[in-house]
Structure 1
Amino acid sequence: MNPKLVLCAFAIGALLPIAASHSQPTPVVPAWSVAGWDFQNGMTTAADVTNNEHTATAVGSNPLSWGWRNSGVNLTGGKYYTVPYSPALSFASGDFSFAAYVRVGPAIATRTLLDNRGSNGGYLLGISASRRVTLRLTGAPTKVPYSSLAAMPLAVNRWHHIAVSVARSTGTVQFYIDGVEAGTWPLQADIYSNTDAPLLIGHNLDGGGFNERLDEVHLYNRALSLDDLAVVMAPGTPLYEPGLWNGGAAVFSNNCYNYATNKRTNTFAQPGNGAGQGTAGYTCPALIEAAIRDGLEPIADPYEPSHKSTVALVAAPAYGDFHWYRLDRYGGWSHKPGQQPATNLDNSQSTISNPEYADRGIYTDFCGYFRVWSDSQQTAGHEYIQ
């Protein structure tokens, strides 16, 4: 390959105006789903995607912004949503769960995700100043606090799926982060439910709010298990299906970073640009820091089980360039060299079984592996890159 034709850092010619891709929604399971808001059109109101008519109304300026799935909400500046009171949202009996995608910044602050407290009781779901998921349930004799494990704080500027299951049937409260168990606690004997107040999304009755990015908020009348989470939150890993990347204008306007994250932005995406600060250079340390700012998660073992997908970063400092590979479903690796078609072959035209040992051409420095929120749908990944 001619190195000048495969650069990921620079596009040759003008990028062509074509539509960006869109991600899949969180599945609605009619038997479990009580309410859900995906904020795809939530400038003034957010529809209840479960069709149970729990419409959320925005308070404050327009909260719509980029989210985990296409658009989401940025609740900085005290913005929030209110949902009219409904017994269905108060869970006076039976098991129940909450789930959402959240992305928190570095500020040391207590954040409220859901406040459903009324004159008689209720629940308060949030994130602590130490970035632990928290739940308070009003009951006898007091408001009992629960939290996820201190050893599993939410990472700054990275999308996380959080869930809390309350099982009256087994007397337990279970926390999950990114589909992994994050703490189990015995449930208090009595839970007093809200009987008169609206549900607040991103606001606290006592003052304060969420003030972060939020997407895909769902309430369930079931204590979600690990298997249930695989149904409602796991977006999946893409197959090696290069056609949607190799046809028409898409092949010229998307590069290796787009392909690895499975996100077709048509901007020839660069590490760090999504966070507003591009890479400071083309060495591994600089590129790793830029990728982390975009929300990618560094890992040591590319084959460790996860609901997220695996990608690999390499660098060519002498050429001022970088390159990415992705691990497709069923274990094969593939990549998209600059403005050339996506392929599962390396520089020697051999099938890529491991990017560490493949013929990478000019990309001499192996920087490491990362996890990303990808999607089983081609071109529909969930990381915010630009």
Structure 2
Amino acid sequence: MRILFLVQGEGRGHLTQALSLAQLVETAGHEVIGALVGVTHNRPTPTFFSEQFPAPITPLPSPGLVYHTRTNALQPSKTTWKALLNARTYRRSIRQIRDVIESQKPDLVVNFYELLGGLTYGFYRPSVPMICVAHQYLAFHPQFQFPAGQYMDRLLFKLTSRFTAWGAREMLALSFDQQPDVPGSRLRVVPPLLRQEVLDRKPASGDFFLAYTTQPGLVAELVRAHRQHPAIPLRVFHSGTQATEERIDETLTYHAINGQRFLDAMQGCRAVVTTAGFESVCEAFYMGKPVLMIPQPNHFEQACNALDGERAGVGLGANTFDLNPLLDFIPRYSTETSEQFRAWYAQGYYLFLAAMNRAIQSKSTNSSQHPEVLSAAGSGS
């Protein structure tokens, strides 16, 4: 089976998931022939992905999120406006995706939440089957819990997710725990995708807290939290420094974002403090580390992640980088939930391969059919 990846390049989550699935499919004897990665002018393809991905990578201009420079709050209106201003550029990217699919003729396309991938299938309807992989698709599960209120945010979030999966044979929803599939909505619940580097590590007990954020402006909040608890060693990985280790005081150090060093630190930390990005939370959960999840302001998706993480026993959601709730939670953290998570993760190899085989087999039986975008107010609303 020859597989082409489409990957949203915002943050590190979807890129890391693509690396993990590439490892999985190559272990099963299949071939990843390339990746089309959505990038913005200020967020090129990260080095960790380009160095580890096993096939050629083609960056494509793609819509990205816009954050307030001072508050780090997500700005949905400016995100939409910027996308509209660059619509002509994105149309060229869509045509490029179509041309690559037609010229390389893969057996399957796997889309990691790249909006332009869904639009390509909606407008051009390639004959190659596509499946979509992202934790965001869990929003269409009838048992999914949303933050109270915020109806418009919920509607826009689900509408965007539908468009990323326009034309997909199935949506594979990455979940902290096992839940029933919803075949009528093309929804299958699968375990998270974790890199082999995570699976190979044996967690140890440490005395320091590990923090991670891709938004440099949030570091100021971490510093305030550190000043309230100066005796607790805090290691902060963030995009605002290029230093391997920058000592700020006796118990505070900054580190440039690096996948291997971050996992080294997570392996021996006491707890993790981070924004509510799905991938980092899953890595901590696998290693049995309690997590304080702080959604970025106005970031509805991360608010959903924090609520779902609390439900699954990962840790606590919070509005600020306040270490006091985490210190109270640590004695109550159940290692049994982490063991259940690892057992759930172990089922992923077979579930992902089964989904890819279903998509390939459906090509002949459904060649005259093309799934359309379902109502954004459908299941899980």
Normalised to the residue count of structure 2, the TM-score between the two structures is 0.34
- Structure showing greater relative contact order (alpha-carbon pairs closer than 8 Å, 6 or more residues apart): 1
Larger proportion of strand: 1
Larger proportion of helix: 2
Normalised to the residue count of structure 1, the TM-score between the two structures is 0.33
Structure with greater Cα Rg = 1
